[in-house]
A and B are shown apart, each in its own frame.
Chain A
Amino acid sequence: MIVISWVMLLLGSAFCLIGTLGLMRLPDFYSRVHAASIIDSMGTILVLLGLLVQTQDILVIAKLILILLFMMLTGPTAVHALAHTASLKEKDSEPDSASQLS
């Protein structure tokens, strides 16, 4: 069990690292958001699953599952809020630059 846990924790950390790398390598804001969503999905899921198999306490298990659930609801909301605001600002300041998006 401890081995499975460590494999998942390390894999999760690796995905977080890749996401961070993507955040720096990708060329523009809209692509960088994609890298952030790797950390959001695979990073958190694997780390939390890795912690989940380490415990037998039903309350701790319930809390970890709830954290996972809330992350899966708040993550997309934050991503959408960020990207949406950026696109609104861009359309506001220069009407021509909206075409640069595509």
Chain B
Amino acid sequence: MLIRVLTAASLLLILWVLLSGHMDILLLGLGLGSCLFTAWLAHRLALPDPAFNTLKFSLDLPRFLPWFFLEVFRSNLDVSWRILHPKLPISPNLSTISTKSLSDVAKTTYANCITLTPGTYTLNTGTDTIEVHSLTKETAENLRHGKMKKRIAALRGSGKTS
């Protein structure tokens, strides 16, 4: 527990230094105080999944992000093209996707990634399913293929699967 609070506090302190740019003792001291307090508050507020390993997860993210940003770029072009098209070729629809095989952190990541990708966003979340609104039939079809889900499930350290 102590290690978690201290890790969070030191990460927050790095953030403090980056944002302020001041290095004098008074401001660093104030920063340290507020960072420790914030880390303690966050710890009291919610106990994270003990199996969630922030370090492992962060180390795996660089493998996922380039692919994800390419996907965001591609769907941006697709949705932009559809908006500019005189006939507006869209077919909005709702689909339900199972997230049974994912841990809590992975579920959140998945739902957020879906929303970040234009053309799809998460409308409702359940324990084992998420409801996704898609702008076109094709994007919904892509989502059902589960390429993104597989890549997120492959991230290590995302905690236990419920």
**Which residues from chain A sit less than 8 Å from chain B, CB to CB?**
15, 18-19, 21-22, 25-28, 30-31, 33-35, 37-38, 40-42, 45, 59, 62-63, 66, 72-73, 75-77, 79-80, 83-84, 87, 101-102
Contact A35 B122 (CB under 8 A): no
**A-side contacts of B135, CB under 8 Å:** 31, 34
**A-side contacts of B124, CB under 8 Å:** 84, 87
Contact B123 A84 (CB under 8 A): yes
The tally of residues in B whose CB lies under 8 Å from a CB in A reads 30
What DSSP secondary structure best describes chain A's contact surface?
A: helix
Contact B92 A18 (CB under 8 A): no
Flag whether B2 is at the interface (Cβ < 8 A): no
Flag whether B83 is at the interface (Cβ < 8 A): yes
- The proximity string for B residues 92-117 relative to A, scoring 1 for CB distances below 8 Å and 0 otherwise, is 11100000000000000001100111
**B-side contacts of A102, CB under 8 Å:** 93-94
**A-side contacts of B93, CB under 8 Å:** 102
* Nearest neighbor of B133 in chain A, beta-carbon distance: A30
Contact B133 A26 (CB under 8 A): no
**Which residues from chain B sit less than 8 Å from chain A, CB to CB?**
15, 18-19, 21, 72-73, 76, 79-80, 83-84, 88, 90, 92-94, 111-112, 115-124, 133, 135
Contact B73 A59 (CB under 8 A): no
Partner of B76, one of A15, A28, A63, A73: A15
**A-side contacts of B117, CB under 8 Å:** 37, 41
Contact B18 A66 (CB under 8 A): yes
Q: A31-B135, A34-B121, A63-B18 are in contact. Are A41 and B112 (CB under 8 A)?
A: no
**B-side contacts of A72, CB under 8 Å:** 116
Show 12 residue pairs from A and B whose CB-CB distance is below 8 angstroms, ordered by the A residue.
Answer: A19-B83, A30-B133, A31-B135, A45-B72, A66-B15, A75-B116, A80-B115, A83-B122, A84-B124, A87-B123, A87-B124, A102-B93
